[in-house]
Amino acid sequence: MALGLIAWSFKSVKINVLNKKAIKYAEKKEFEKAIATFLKVLDEMPDHAITWQNIGTAYYESKNLEKAAESFKKAFQKDSSLVAAGFNWGTSLIALGKHSEAITAFESALKEEPDTIQGRLELAKLYWHEGKHQKAIDDFLKVLKSDEQNIDAIKGAAEAYLRTNQRTKAIKYFEKALEVDPEDTYSLYKLGCLFADNKKFDLGREILEKALKINPNFHDPRFMIAKIDIITGKYLEAIKNLDKLNKSYPNNWEILFFLGQALGNSGNLKKAITILDQVVKLQPNLADAWKFLAICHNKLGDKDKATMYEKKYRTMVKQLP
């Protein structure tokens, strides 16, 4: 975002004095006075694009985002060569959560200056946010043609490829991100998950361990490692990690569900039942939790509860869409 005041001289002495006064107010962060004075300039010259840009900046800095967006839009409409106003219009709309309108603003500005990397990157992010993943990919790749080390564009492309189920390309771009920043824990996490999803459990676990070593407080890799350990039969390892997660996120039904599975599979059936009882209280419609409760009770010889929970599981599965 190219915020900032643009100095400008007017032929009219009166307007020149007002404009300089407004800019001084803004520089001193007296935005209400700046806005009131810029409005006086606009009373005299309502089509002056730079003044609309300047008043937009004052509105933005004073957190009046609606007025900022309106002012930047007017500046750009009155002079499309003032491309900064177009990008500022879009940025204000993003801050307002008006993403579809922001797309229009960034597309308009980029028609005037198509090689603006930051503007192109913001548009790609907007496309991704709005679910227009192929458009996002196209613009992320345009950014990378100009700046091949731009990690935001690399990771953005990777995410967009993942959303369009182009998993091989997603892996390629997460790996590219790690070439730029080998300690990018998010890319390590996503890459580890992708390899695990491809049943390359040892490789996935190794990559996730790297992420966890760099940032022990990044809990997502720990959770994924625990899930891999359950799949590969390393139940005690899974229990250790899930216990740690449970301390950080008590009453999280998903953590508790996998902890219950790991405990049950390791033979600690009574504790598994205690944990799974918590799960079905938190998430009563989780069919798999009822099924696993039935399995645990059956192994303990409690046939009545096993039968009851199995029936509940089968009823729930029949009701699933």
CATH number at residue 310: 1.25.40.10
Taking residues 16-34, report their average pLDDT.
Answer: 91
pLDDT of residue 208: 98
For 212-228, b/e burial (b = at least 16 CB within 10 A) is: beeeeeebbbbbbbbbb
Instruction: Give the mean model confidence (pLDDT) for residues 104-117.
Output: 97
Let me know if residue 267 belongs to a domain.
yes
Given a cut of 60, is residue 43 above it in pLDDT? Answer: yes
Considering 114, 146, 161, which residue would you say is the last residue of a domain? 114
Q: Which of 18-22, 105-109, 137-141, 219-223 has the lowest mean pLDDT?
A: 18-22
Residue 101 covered by a domain? yes
- Asked which of 16-25, 26-35, 249-258 is least confident by mean pLDDT, the reply is 16-25
Determine the 3-state secondary structure of 113 from DSSP: coil
For residue 274, tell me if it sits in a domain: yes
| Residue 226 contacts residue 262 (beta carbons within 8 Å) | yes
Residue matched to tokens 């039904």: 253
Mean pLDDT along residues 275-288:
96
Q: CA 210, CA 223: separation in Å to the nearest integer?
A: 14
Burial class (CB in 10 A: 0-12, 13-18, 19+), 250: exposed
What is the pLDDT, as a whole number, of residue 16? 81
In a domain, 189, yes or no: no
User: Residue 320's pLDDT is what?
Assistant: 64
Residue 1 has pLDDT above 60, yes or no: no
Please report whether residue 217 resides in a domain: no
Position 2 pLDDT exceeds 60 = no
Q: Is 67 domain-assigned?
A: yes
Write down the mean pLDDT value for the chain: 94
Of 67, 95, 114, the one marking the end of a domain is: 114
pLDDT at 314 over 70: yes
**201-214 vs 185-197: helix crossing angle, rounded to 10:** 160
Q: How many domains does the chain have?
A: 2
State the average pLDDT over residues 167-187. 98
- Is residue 197 one of the residues assigned to a domain? no
Of 56, 81, 114, the last residue of a domain is 114
Q: Which domain holds residue 311?
A: 251-321
Burial class (CB in 10 A: 0-12, 13-18, 19+), 156: buried
Instruction: Please give the Cα distance from 31 to 24 (Å, whole number).
Output: 10
Q: 45 in a domain, yes or no?
A: yes
